[in-house]
Structure 1
Amino acid sequence: MTRRLFTAVVLFAAALVTPAAAAGLKIGVTPGAYADSVAAAAEEAKAQGLNVEVVEFSDWTTPNVALEAGDIDVNYFQHQPFLNNAVKQRGYAFTDAGVGTLANVGLYSLRHKSFAEIPNGGTVAIANDPVNQGRGLLLLEKAGLIKLKDGVGFLGTLDDIVENPKKLTFTEVEGPQLVRITADVDLALGYPHFIVAAKTFDPGSALIYSGIEDRQFAIRFVVKKGRETDPDILKFVEIYHSSPKVREAIGKAFANNPKLYAIAWEK
């Protein structure tokens, strides 16, 4: 091989490698707290030589589809029970590479100031996916509005309600859209970070909240199995955990109200 040909081969190989290196990581998120905090971590990562592209999704299905297809490297929108259910239902070979923020949920009413005021036959909006619906039902049970079958836990569904003294009627809604229907019902399950982002009502006005006892519902950095030890992914998770700018973004996304969230990796 001549020197000129050898040089051409080396340059061609470098051209193949450079774009991949420049691509860095693509992380899928949903808008609000998760997008804002990951974007803050991405800025820190860039300063440390790691390029991160933040990709927003508006639903809770597409981020896993995109991860499975290889369109993104990581997603950050789901908690462990949601992930377990997705793996069971879709056969995904996913795992987590680190824990993130624990977003509390609440029961909100823009019509009533207490659970006692909710009328017989009142309307309730609740998440339509199996895991988050169960989480909402547990909160309704905690509030004394319903009773569930023994042992159903967070996998409970509307069919598991055994006592409903107020004869409440339920509307099932995609989780991120619950904020839009809250004004139309007597009571709605709510995700404070979506409420903060929507700026429609006070996220601190829930009649009841979940709390740190819901630790399993902390959001996870989810990857395909085999990539949980990827150095770039672990580096990004560490940046997320240690960055003051990330803490600031999380706090802002939750209206700086400690009732609405917890820093799960420290609890």
Structure 2
Amino acid sequence: MMKTMVKVLCAALAAAGLSAAADAAEVKTIRVGVTPGIHEQVAEFVKPLVEKKGYAVKITTFSDYVLPNQALADGDIDINIFQHKPYLDTQVKDRGLKLISAGTNFIAPMGFYSQKIKTMAELKDGDKIAIPNDPSNGGRALLLLQKFGILKVKTAPGAIPSVIDVRENPKHIKLVELDAAQLPRSLPDVTVAAINTNYAVSAGMNPAKDSIAREGADSPYANIFAIRAADKDAAWVKAYVSAYQSEPVRQFILETGKGAILPAF
């Protein structure tokens, strides 16, 4: 009887040891995809906070808005932080990606920049305005131009407008659609460019000071954490998001962004 109990105890201890070893081997490296600029800076700040929760973190920087979602869908990264939900919704619909939002991080108001004029009221007949060529950010720029009284668009309820939806354009503004990352470089060639905050910051501009017009704080375009739908209940997702949505990160966003971005948590 005693020998049998010893054998059982040894077997249990061995099993526990194997289980602990397995748990240690399963410590996850969270692969995070970001775009250059403020998203990258905040992700680097968040990294040690996540590591304190027992996860390694690897950050990959992408130069455009298309690759991060494809990389996420393909399993090359685990989470990306660069887009707002309207953009993700468009990508999911158009490309059949099984991606979802895991929460919000910060709002980066779109700004309008110029090397030729100081206010939108100075726009003249036939001037060129460059806008992002992806549907959601392009539509966002068009809605802002409508809000500023430059033109009017008409779409079905809930639809994102495109250049073909422009119905009134009294100043005959020429809309130039460009890749979002190229917009800062377009400034010498256009009158105004609508530039997302991360690319404006990367180009050395201060959105709060250098933009001639800017999206309001009531913007619905808060940036999100995108993950694969299959990971929605994963412990690492909760660990990463909770580390990001913490007070130290809130203060870092306010101090580093200098008014260019605002926490959305």
TM-score range, shorter chain: 0.7 to 0.9
For residue 190 of structure 2, what is the aligned residue in structure 1? 185
Q: 1:234 aligns with which of 231, 238, 243?
A: 238
- Residue identity opposite 2:234 in structure 1: D
Q: TM-score, normalised by structure 2?
A: 0.86
Say whether the 8 Å CA contact 1:104–1:210 is kept in structure 2: yes
Corresponding pairs, count: 249
Q: 2:90 aligns with which of 57, 60, 85?
A: 85
1:261 aligns with 2:265: no
Q: CA deviation at 1:212?
A: 3.1
- Residue identity opposite 2:179 in structure 1: E
Q: Which runs of 5+ in 2 are unaligned?
A: 1-9
Q: How does 1:185-264 map to 2 (within 5 A)?
A: 185-199=190-204, 201-203=205-207, 204-215=209-220, 217-244=221-248, 246-254=249-257, 256-257=258-259, 260-264=260-264
Query: What CA distance in whole angstroms lies between the structure 2 residues aligned with 1:154 and 1:137?
Result: 12
Q: CA deviation at 1:153?
A: 5.8
Q: 2:134 aligns with which of 103, 106, 129?
A: 129
Q: CA deviation at 1:263?
A: 1.2
Q: CA deviation at 1:86?
A: 0.5
For residue 72 of structure 2, what is the aligned residue in structure 1? 67
Q: CA deviation at 1:118?
A: 1.6
Q: CA deviation at 1:58?
A: 0.5
Q: CA deviation at 1:253?
A: 4.6
Say whether the 8 Å CA contact 1:134–1:153 is kept in structure 2: no
Q: How does 1:14-93 map to 2 (within 5 A)?
A: 20-21=26-27, 23-93=28-98
Q: Deviations over 1:183-223 (max 9, x none)?
A: 32101102233222221x442222221123222x1111111
Q: Which runs of 5+ in 1 are unaligned?
A: none
Q: CA deviation at 1:54?
A: 0.9
Query: What CA distance in whole angstroms lies between the structure 2 residues aligned with 1:154 and 1:251?
Result: 32
4+ residue segments displaced more than 3 Å: 16-20, 150-154
Query: What CA distance in whole angstroms lies between the structure 2 residues aligned with 1:212 and 1:88?
Result: 28
Say whether the 8 Å CA contact 2:109–2:196 is kept in structure 1: yes
Query: What CA distance in whole angstroms lies between the structure 2 residues aligned with 1:138 and 1:94?
Result: 26
- Same amino acid, percent of matched pairs: 34
Q: CA deviation at 1:232?
A: 1.2
Q: CA deviation at 1:47?
A: 2.6
Q: Secondary structure at the match of 1:184?
A: coil
Query: What CA distance in whole angstroms lies between the structure 1 residues aligned with 2:110 and 2:225?
Result: 20
